[in-house]
Amino acid sequence: MIWKSALRRLGAALIVMVGISMLIFAIARVMPGDPARIALGPNASAAQVAALRAERHLDAPLPIQYWEFVKALSRGDLGKSLYTNRPVTTDIAQFLPATLELVIVSAIIMVLIGLPIGILSAHFRGRLPDHVGRLIALIGVCTPAFVWGVILQLFFGYFWPVFPIEGRLLESTPVPPDVTGFFLVDTLLAGNVPAFFDALHHLILPAVALAMAGLGQTARLTRSNMIEVYDRPYIEMARAYGFRPLRIATRYAFRPAFIPTLTILGLEFAAMLGNAFLVEKVFGWPGISRYGVDVIIRKDLDAIVGTVLIIAAAFLIMNIVVDILVSIINPRIRLAAGRG
C-alpha cells in the first residue's frame, strides 16, 4: 500500500520536475544581460561573442534551446558552465557533497535540540522551563541564519577562539581521498581520525547557524502539538493509572504530536539546501548554494538550471520520504492510502 502511494507520488514528482525545468529555463534566459558577453568579458570581440552564442544556441528560439537542453539532459549532460569552464555535472559533484554534509549535520542538531526543547516546554507548560524554551525558539526563528553566523564567529572565533571560522579543514590537514565528498565520512574511511575531528570542528559553527531557524520552528511546533495531545482523554487515563510523566510524554503524547512536526522537519531539511548560501558565504563554505548564487550573478545559464533542478529534486524527494514515514507512524493514513 505504502509503496504504491510512493510510486504515484514519484510519478507526480517527475511531472513537477519537467514543469520546473521549463520555468527556470525560461526565467534564466529573460534575465538582463548577455551571458556570452559576461563570460568573455568586455575586451572580447563581437565575433568571439557571436561564436559563443552560436555554440550555446543562444541565438535560437527559446523552444529550440529547450529542446537542445532536453536532448543533452537525456544523456546526463547539464551543459558547460561559463563561470568555471567545466561541465555543470562536475561542478555539482564537487560542491553538492559539502552542502549536503552541512545540511545533514544541521538537521541532526535541529532534531536533537529542537525536539527535547518542545517536549520539555509542553511538559512544564507555564513554568520556567517552558518560558526559557519558548524564548530560545522565538530567538531562533526571528534571527536570520547569516546573523547567527556572524554572532557565532564573533563569540567563538574572536572573543573566545575555540572554533575555526572558515573552510572545511585546516591548511595543514591533508584532504582525504574523494570517496563520498563528505569529509566526515572520507576521513574515517581513510583511517585519519585527527582529520575527522578537524572536519567536525570546522562544521560545528556553520551547522549551528543554519539549524537555528529550524530548531526554533521544531520546538514551537512540538510544544503546541503536545499541549493539544495532553488534553486528550487517553492521556488523562494514563495519568489516572499512575504512569510516570516521562513515559506519558515520550510514549503516549509525543508520537501523535510528532506527525505534523515530521512534515516540517522534512521541508526544513530541503529548504536548508537553498537557504544555506548566506551561511556558506559567511563561513567560506564551498557548497552548492554558494555556487548557485555565483552563477546567477554571472548569468551562467546551464549552471543556474542545473543548480535549481538539484534543489527542486531535494524538495520532492524529501516530500516523498516524509509521506512514507508519516504513513508508517500513523496507521490511519496508511489505511486511507490503501483504500484510495
User: Phi and psi of 330, rounded to 5°?
Assistant: -110, 105
For residues 298 and 282, what is the distance between their CA atoms, to the nearest angstrom? 20
Contact between 328 and 334 (Cβ < 8 Å): yes
Q: Where in the chain is the domain with CATH 1.10.3720.10?
A: 94-297
Collapsed DSSP state (helix, strand, coil) of residue 180: coil
> What pLDDT is recorded for position 29?
77
What cell does 155 get?
563569540
145, 224, 104, 76: CA torsion to nearest 10: -90
For residues 159 and 145, what is the distance between their CA atoms, to the nearest angstrom? 20
Predicted TM-score of the model (pTM): 0.86
Collapsed DSSP state (helix, strand, coil) of residue 231: coil
For residues 108 and 100, what is the distance between their CA atoms, to the nearest angstrom? 12
DSSP letter string, 89-124: HHHHHHHHHHHHHHHHHHHHHHHHHHHHHHHHHHHT
With CA atoms as reference, report the closest residue to 115 among 228, 258, 230, 246: 258
> What pLDDT is recorded for position 90?
92
What are the pLDDT digits (tens) for 62-109?
888 888 888 888 888 888 888 888 999 999 999 999 999 999 999 999
Per DSSP, helices labelled H in the chain are 2-30, 35-40, 46-55, 62-74, 88-123, 128-142, 145-153, 183-189, 193-230, 233-240, 245-247, 254-275, 277-283, 288-297, 301-329, 331-339
CATH annotation of 94-297: 1.10.3720.10
With both helix axes pointing from N to C terminus, report the angle between 331-339 and 301-329 in degrees, rounded to the nearest 10: 110
> What pLDDT is recorded for position 25?
85
* Residue numbers in the chain where pLDDT is lower than 50: none
> What pLDDT is recorded for position 105?
94
> What pLDDT is recorded for position 335?
52
Which DSSP letter does residue 282 get?
Answer: H
